[in-house]
Chain A
Amino acid sequence: GAVVSQHPSRVICKSGTSVKIECRSLDFQATTMFWYRQFPKKSLMLMATSNEGSKATYEQGVEKDKFLINHASLTLSTLTVTSAHPEDSSFYICSARGSGGTDTQYFGPGTRLTVL
């Protein structure tokens, strides 16, 4: 149980285009999903917290107009990187927390974004 998927696993795009990444909880309902960014050989940095049906809460320094987050259902959250630039190239990982007040976060496999 507690499986989280992400799609796509890898994406290469041209500078200036937008890329959408999907995060799904496959066998549980996720009231809250989180988006993290991880640079090579570095730690995970929280970008935003997304609750189903409400606006995402962004961490300080994260541009909400650049990283659009939608959490339309209890099993799906999307991150759209708008007008991507090479500095947006990174590993984006989502996590999902189940209902019932549990603390445990289950991570997706990540999406490797490369912007040319």
Chain B
Amino acid sequence: GENVEQHPSTLSVQEGDSAVIKCTYSDSASNYFPWYKQELGKRPQLIIDIRSNVGEKKDQRIAVTLNKTAKHFSLHITETQPEDSAVYFCAASTSSADGLTFGKGTHLIIQP
């Protein structure tokens, strides 16, 4: 089955700086890669996703890049703000009918 590795497990950045979280996946058939933000005790919220026919996608301060050859994808957050502090999960799936395989999460801490 699919295996998703996520790094780092904890990331502390100064407010205003950029944050990058990286994930790798094992199943070359995976074609959908969402990123979720989860605050303590709350539901995961989709922040951005990318499909395998696209190399990069951007939404305001958030961007995701995908390298299918290397089987890795990354989340980039620019101009970080205190409200960006949360746990971020990457995930992968092979089809819309399948559930998601999640990475272990990154605890992002924005230092004021």
Q: Could you tell me which A residues sit within 8 Å of B by CB distance?
A: 32, 34, 36, 42-46, 48-49, 59-60, 93, 95, 97, 101-110
Contact = CB atoms under 8 A, between A and B. Distances in A.
A93 B102 CA distance: 13
Nearest to B2: A46
B98 interface: yes
- In order of increasing CB-CB distance, the 8 nearest A-B pairs are A46-B99, A103-B32, A107-B43, A34-B99, A103-B96, A43-B102, A109-B43, A43-B104
**Majority-rule SS of A interface residues:** strand
A5 B100 CA distance: 19
Contacts, number: 54
Contacts of B104: 42-43
A18 B100 CA distance: 27
Q: How large is the interface on B (under 10, 10 to 19, 20 to 34, 35 or more residues)?
A: 20 to 34
Nearest to B40: A41
Contacts of A102: 96
B98 A49 contact: yes
A110 B43 contact: yes
A44 B49 CA distance: 17
Contacts of B45: 107
B43 A93 contact: yes
Contacts of A42: 104-105
A101 B96 contact: yes
A103 B44 contact: no
A59 B98 CA distance: 11
A89 B102 CA distance: 20
A97 B89 CA distance: 18
B59 to A, nearest CB: 14
B29 interface: no
